[in-house]
A and B are shown apart, each in its own frame.
Chain A
Amino acid sequence: MAAATDDAGDSNEMIRVVSSDGEHFEMPEAAANLSLVLRHMIEDDCADAAGIPLAVVAAKPLAKIVDYCTKHAAKSSGLTIEEAEELKRFDAEFIEVDTDMLYDLLVAADFMGVEGLSKLAVQRTADLIKGKTPEQNRETFGIVNDFTPEEEEEICKENEWAFQITKPPSRLC
């Protein structure tokens, strides 16, 4: 409350964050502002030299998120077409991660309220689901099939159209 804000200096200030496993990261305030949670902390003057602790975000995903926010904050407004396309390419490469990292990013982006990254990770997850059989999806996402064989047969029958386009005649004249 006592801190007098110096408008000119704000945007260059570095914000420190600490991962759940104790690693420190720095990013420009404009980048931190892309996270709803960090922005609120900064507004409430909770960003000090010790860094903002992020209890549920480990160092690996946090490094990625800092990277993402820094890149996007640097190109936040007045983008030329080339810059917008470059940012798109950056996103596409950025999200080419294994499923463990994707999961961490989904959780962390949701927790930190980084909207653009949330969208990116959610879309990437959806893209992974598409075009796969339920069995392949279980494998990809480490899910145990908890249906009984009877239940599975029934549910597959209910959604039969999702697996095949045509089926043989169900009866003959």
Chain B
Amino acid sequence: MAAAALHEDVLADVLRRLEPRPLAASRCVCKAWRALIDSRRSKLCVGLLPRSLAGIYIGQATASSNLPGFFAHRTSSVSGTLHFLPSSTATAGDKPPPRRYEIQDHCNGLLLLDNRVVVNPATRWWSSPLPPRPPPRMGASTFGAEFLVYDPAVSSRYEVFSIPCFRRNCSACYCCPSDNKSGDEPVLMNELSEWPPLLHTLDVYSSSTGRWEERTFHRQGEAAGTIADMRFDLSGHKCKAVYWQGALYVHYKTYFIMRKVRKGCVPCISYTVTLASSLGS
């Protein structure tokens, strides 16, 4: 069968019906197939991922467990206990106590642990701890929340985005810098300035360079509010984010979603910030 001679649209129609795994394997058949799959990636590879679910982490680490509970089938090939990680407190002859981990963020099977190590439980791979992040560029009344961006169908490289979160502005709150050193800290921002700004610079860690780098995003559309609005926050302080289909969606408590679009494949060149439709928390 001279499938190589099939009309592109017919072949694309065939490939569109493949699950992620056979689709990815089809990239290796010949150059024409690879070119077709890559050129129609957005249509063919929506959510292209190895969809075999090995297990789910639930809850938080407890006294009896060094990790959030891992809910998996008995026959799952993945062990959620991360027992393969080296213990930082290991000394010769002394059995170290199991290290407790909190999962700070996760993306498509990769975990970012609270010791700033990135782990893939399925492949038993782990990174060295991320290098220290630059200090918050907007001053002490903000802090960075780190989010993983990883799509194994696109690349084995990953990125960690540091998204600025705003500390709550209230006198009773323990997390507000009480010793505000108002004289020392330069005024870095106007509370009434737009958020997100037209040009938004973020610190992004890239696993291909092993460094934090600055990346600037251009806002599209109107701002969601002001920085003061972002401080109005009734539950936590940390914004939430999820990476889906090439975009990182950041949810601030003040009811808007910031969408950071990745253009093209990793490594990406240009990013934009788009305000998506507003959502209740």
Contacts and interface: CB of A to CB of B under 8 A. Distances in A.
Interface of A: 99-100, 102-103, 106-107, 110, 118, 122-123, 125-126, 129-134, 137-138, 140-147, 152, 155-163, 165-171, 173
A152 B52 CA distance: 25
Given A107-B7, A141-B4, A158 B125 contact: no
Interface in B1-47: 1-4, 6-7, 9-10, 13-15, 17-31, 33-34
Interface in B146-168: 152-153, 155-156
Contact of A122 (B14, B23, B33, B85): B14
Chain B interface SS verdict (over half): loop
A147 B31 contact: yes
B7 A145 contact: no
A158 B4 CA distance: 23
| Most chain B CB atoms below 10 A, which of A122, A123, A132, A160 | A122
Contact of A173 (B18, B50, B86): B86
A167 B120 CA distance: 11
Given A122-B13, A163-B25, A103 B50 contact: no
A114 B2 CA distance: 21
Given A158-B155, A170-B124, 15 more contacts: A100-B1, A102-B1, A106-B10, A118-B10, A129-B22, A129-B26, A134-B26, A140-B1, A142-B2, A142-B3, A143-B3, A145-B29, A155-B34, A157-B156, A167-B123
Nearest to A166: B77
A128 to B, nearest CB: 9
Given A100-B1, A102-B1, A165 B52 contact: yes
Contacts of B140: none
A125 B3 CA distance: 10
A103 B122 CA distance: 39
Contacts of B2: 103, 141-142
Interface residues of B, number: 43
B137 to A, nearest CB: 34
A169 B84 contact: yes
Give the 3 A-B CB pairs with smallest separation, nearest first: A173-B86, A162-B24, A141-B3
A146 B30 contact: yes
B78 A166 contact: yes
Contacts of B28: 134, 147, 152, 155-156, 159
A98 B27 CA distance: 24
A126 B16 CA distance: 8
Interface in B58-88: 77-78, 84-86
A170 to B, nearest CB: 5
Given A142-B4, A143-B4, A134 B25 contact: yes
Contact of B22 (A131, A160, A173): A131
Contacts of B27: 155, 158-159
A144 B3 CA distance: 11
B46 to A, nearest CB: 16
A158 B123 contact: no
| Most chain A CB atoms below 10 A, which of B1, B24, B155 | B1
14 contacts: A118-B10, A125-B14, A126-B14, A134-B26, A142-B1, A143-B33, A158-B156, A161-B24, A162-B25, A166-B78, A166-B122, A166-B123, A170-B123, A170-B124
B19 A130 contact: yes
A138 B17 contact: no
Nearest to A169: B124
Given A122-B17, A166-B123, A138 B7 contact: no
Nearest to B265: A158
A154 to B, nearest CB: 10
B10 A122 contact: yes
A117 to B, nearest CB: 12
Nearest to A144: B30
